[in-house]
Structure 1
Amino acid sequence: MSCYIYSLDELPKGFQFPRTFLEIINQEVILDLDPWWFLCEFEKFAKYWLLEMKNQYPTRKLIPFAKLSYSDDIVCFDGDDTSGDPKVFYVHAFASAGWEDRGYMDNFTEWLKIARLESARYKAEQANDE
């Protein structure tokens, strides 16, 4: 499966995606982290959320990469970081500016660890409900 990656024109100058993120999204089959899903799986959604973050929070450089399926929570890379290992911000979309921040992880690897745990717990709960 091919994933959509934002073009250099869409990204803040000097921003680099984390190597681990690129490795995951370039796999034949994208990692299933339900209830999280990677925006790059759908170009239209990726572009929509990038524009939405720019419009809603113009003072922040947020690069959205995954969304929680049952809410407006999005995770975004810190577009101000040019290290190649940016922080990951939890953003509650559509909240008023200043109220959108739901915390952060130090980097993608740390977010991925938590997302895997959340996914396993979510899937177990879904299985118990059936």
Structure 2
Amino acid sequence: MQIAFSSYDPDMLPGEFRYPAAYVKLSRSGGQLFLGPWWFIDANSKAGALAWSVRNHDGRNLIPFAKVDDGRGDVACFDGNDSSGNPAVLILVLDESGRSYSYSDFSAWLAAASAEVLR
């Protein structure tokens, strides 16, 4: 169960990007959240530095925030080109499978990640 995580410093973020309010609230809460194979990336960790270093792997402007550890190795990222405060969640697929998937926003991703726990 993950207890706390930090988001990337605003000075590192592209342009007018803003994190979704629900994500900010969750990152500041320090509460426990179990999302099965998914875990939130702590920007101040080695994993956070690694995720940041591969964020443009496929040419998109991504802000990583979560990773799945179930063999897929996918990284959930916010669309760094969005300035609405409710960016889409784009999945960075680091293998050569050709898979591609995304979610309309953080709430949709969180619902899907939570549903994975029930499987």
| TM-score bin, normalised by smaller chain | 0.7 to 0.9
The runs of at least 4 aligned residues of structure 1 exceeding 6 Å deviation read: none
- Comparing both chains, which one has the higher relative contact order based on Cα–Cα distances under 8 Å and sequence gaps of 6 or more? 2
Larger fraction in helix: 1
Tell me, yes or no, if structure 1 residue 102 matches structure 2 residue 100. Answer: yes
Letter in 1 for 2:100: R
1:40 match: secondary structure:
coil
* TM-align CA RMSD: 2.0
- Relative to structure 1, the CA distance from residue 111 to residue 2 in structure 2 (aligned partners, 3 Å threshold; closer, same or farther) is closer
- 1:90 alignment partner in structure 2: 91
Tell me, yes or no, if structure 1 residue 114 matches structure 2 residue 112. Answer: yes
* C-alpha distance in structure 1 between counterparts of 2:35 and 2:5, whole Å: 16
* C-alpha distance in structure 1 between counterparts of 2:32 and 2:49, whole Å: 19
Letter in 2 for 1:13: G
When Rg is computed on C-alpha atoms for both structures, the one with the higher figure is: 1
Kept after mapping to 1: 8 A contact 2:7/2:27? no
1:34 match: secondary structure:
coil
Deviations 1:13-66, CA, capped at 9 Å, x for gaps: 111000001111222224110110001276221121011123x23x31011111
Percent of aligned positions that are identical: 32
* C-alpha distance in structure 1 between counterparts of 2:8 and 2:32, whole Å: 17
Tell me, yes or no, if structure 1 residue 81 matches structure 2 residue 82. Answer: yes
Kept after mapping to 2: 8 A contact 1:4/1:46? no
How far did residue 9 of structure 1 move?
2.7
Count of residues in correspondence between the two structures: 116
- 1:67 alignment partner in structure 2: 67
